[in-house]
Structure 1
Amino acid sequence: MPNEAERDFLQFHDLGADAILSIIARAQILAEAWNDRDMPQSLAGKRVALIVDDGGWRNTTAFELGIQAMGGVCARPPARFGAGEATADLAKYLDNWFDVLVVRTRELSALRELASSADAPVINARTRSNHPCETLGDLAYIRSKRARLDGLKIVALSPAANIVRSWIEASIALPLQVTQIYPEDWHVREIASPNFTASTGLDALFDADVIVTDCWPDGASGDRLLGYQVSASLLERCRPDVIFLPCPPVTRGQEVSADAMSHPACQSPRAKAYLLHAQNALLEWIVA
C-alpha cells in the first residue's frame, strides 16, 4: 500500500518498478472485467476531481468513465492555475471535497505546486512536459501482447515533447531501452537516464519493438523533417512484430503518412483502449 508521500503520479518514475508492474498486471485483469461488463467497485465512496485546464479528451474521458464504472464520484471543477487564485489556496479548497485530484494542465510546475500543498494525491493527466498516463497505458497494451517488458526497445521519432519525455522517464524506472531519432536541434537533454540515447540516424528503428511518434514542432520545415516521417514502406523494413503507436492526434502527411495508419503494425486504436484500464488500475493502487 502506498504511503502519503508516494501517492502522487506526476512523472512516470515517481513510482518504483514494483508498483508500476503491479499496476500494469492489474490493468490486464481490469481489461477482462471491462469486456465482461463486471467492473469491481473499487472506488465506491471515493470522490475524484477531474480538472481539465488544457484541452484534450481521450484520457480525461477515460478517467471520468472509469471512475464511474468502479463506483466513484467524479466532478469537473472549472479550476484554472495561474489565473489569480494561489495554487496553495486552491489545493486546500479541493481537499475539502475530494479524495484524489486528476489534473490536465500545461505546466508540470503547477502540478508540483498543487501536490506540495494538497493532502489528496495528484495524478498528472498530461502536461506539455510529459504524459505519464499515456505511457502507462501503452505499456499495459504492450504487456497484453508480449510475455515480458524487460529489455523492450522503444524508438521515438519525435521532437523533445511530452511523449518521448515520458518514455525516458519510464526508462529510469524500468529496464527499457529508449532511443529518440530526430534532428539534433530537438533532442531531449534535460532528463538523465542510462537507458536513453538520441540519434539523427534511423538505424535503431529497424530493430525496435515499439515505434512511437509525436507531432512536428511548430514552425519546423517540412523538408527537414520529411525523412523522419513513418510510412508503410518504412514499416515494411522494420521487424515483422513491431508495434507502431503514433500518438494521437495524428497529423497525416507530417509525422505519419496515410498508408502508415492502415499498416498492420499500427495498433494505436487498440492500444488506447488500455489507457482506460491502466488509469483504472492506477486509481485503485492510489486509493488502496
Structure 2
Amino acid sequence: MSIITLTDLQPADILDIWRRVESPMSPLWGRVGWSFEGNGIRTRTTFIQAFNALGLSFIELPNLLKTAERAEDLAGYLDPFYDLYVVRESNHEKLATFAACSSKPVINAMSSQGHPCEVLTDAFFINKTLGPIKQARICLWGPTTNVFKSWHELAPLLGLDLTHVCDEAFHTQIPGVKFTTQADFSTDVVITDGWPRAYQSASCLTLATLQALDNPLLLPTPPFTVGQELNFDPLLYANFTGYQQKAWLLPVQKAIIAHLLTA
C-alpha cells in the first residue's frame, strides 16, 4: 500500500493510523529512500525525526523524480535497497507512476495535487479536540489548493460535514463537500491554505467573518501569509489553534510509517 492520495486508504486504515498516534510504538527495521523538493521546513523536520524515533535508516535521494529516467526503471533498480519511500515532488503524475511501479510503499510528502499527511494530521487534531470528526462542522476557506484537494478526498471517506467557501470558479461536484460563496452559516473550525501563485481575490478571511461564523477554531495551514488568505494576525484571535497543533505532525507521520510497514 502507498499513500499518494487519501483515496488510497479505507476508513479502517485512517482509524488504525489515528489509533497508533497515541499508542506505544516499538522500533521498526527498515531502510527509507527520502527525496524532498523545496523547503518544507515543518514536514522535513518531522519526517526525519520520525525516521530516527522509529529506528529507521534513511538515505537522501536528491531530486529522485527529476531525472529523465523513467519512473518504472527507477523503481525497478532501487526497490532492492529500500523498504519505504517518502517523496515530496511537485510532479504528481510521475510520483503516482513511481508508486504504481514500486513494490514498496510510497508516501506522498506533498505534491501539486495533494498533501495527505498534513490533512490526516489536521483531521486527527479535529477528531481529538472536537469529538468524533463526523460530528464536527468543518469549513475550508479560499481557492482550491493541494491541501484542500486532500480534504475533498477525505470528506466522502469519513462522511464529513465539509463546507468550502471559495470563488464560484472553484465550485465543483464532490460527494460530501458543499461549495458556497457566502459565510452565512455556523461552523466549528475554519481551515485556510496559502493562495496559489498569482491568485487575486477580495475573499481573504477577516475577524468579522470569523465572528459571523460563531468564532470557530482557526487552523491556518502554514506557511500562512497575513494580507493574503488572512487579513489579520492570527495570534490576535482567541481561537487560533496555535503552533502546538502542528506538533501532531510528528506522531501522525510516525503512525503512517508504522501502518505501512506493518500492515
Provide TM-score, normalisation by structure 2. 0.92
- Could you tell me which of 8, 12, 15 is aligned with 1:18? 12
Output the CA distance in 1 between the equivalents of 2:17 and 2:236.
31
Number of aligned positions between the proteins: 262
Deviation sequence 1:19-43 (CA, Å, 0-9, x none): 101211221336xxxxxxxxx3332
Counterparts in 2 of 1:215-234, with a 5 A limit? 215-221=194-200, 225-226=201-202, 228-234=203-209
Output the CA distance in 1 between the equivalents of 2:244 and 2:214.
20
Q: Which residue of the partner structure matches residue 3 of structure 1?
A: none
Output the CA distance in 1 between the equivalents of 2:214 and 2:22.
25
RMSD: 1.8
Q: Which residue of the partner structure matches residue 192 of structure 2?
A: 213
Sequence identity of aligned pairs in percent? 29
Output the CA distance in 1 between the equivalents of 2:59 and 2:254.
16
Output the CA distance in 1 between the equivalents of 2:50 and 2:44.
10
Q: Which amino acid aligns with 1:255?
A: E
Output the CA distance in 2 between the equivalents of 1:71 and 1:94.
21
Q: Which residue of the partner structure matches residue 42 of structure 1?
A: 27
Provide TM-score, normalisation by structure 1. 0.85
Contact 2:35 2:63 in 1 (8 A): yes
Deviation sequence 1:84-139 (CA, Å, 0-9, x none): 11111111222121100111100221121001111111111101111111110111
Q: Where do 5+ consecutive residues of structure 1 fail to align?
A: 1-6, 31-39
Q: Which residue of the partner structure matches residue 153 of structure 1?
A: 137
Output the CA distance in 2 between the equivalents of 1:218 and 1:59.
21
- Could you tell me which of 89, 97, 112 is aligned with 1:128? 112
Output the CA distance in 1 between the equivalents of 2:240 and 2:22.
21
Deviation sequence 1:214-267 (CA, Å, 0-9, x none): 22333233xxx23x2223333233335x22111111111111133333312111
**Aligned-pair CA distance for 1:268:** 4.4
Q: Where do 5+ consecutive residues of structure 2 fail to align?
A: none
Q: Which residue of the partner structure matches residue 235 of structure 1?
A: 210
Pairing 1:286–2:257 present: no
Output the CA distance in 1 between the equivalents of 2:205 and 2:104.
41
Q: Which residue of the partner structure matches residue 230 of structure 2?
A: 256
Contact 2:159 2:176 in 1 (8 A): yes
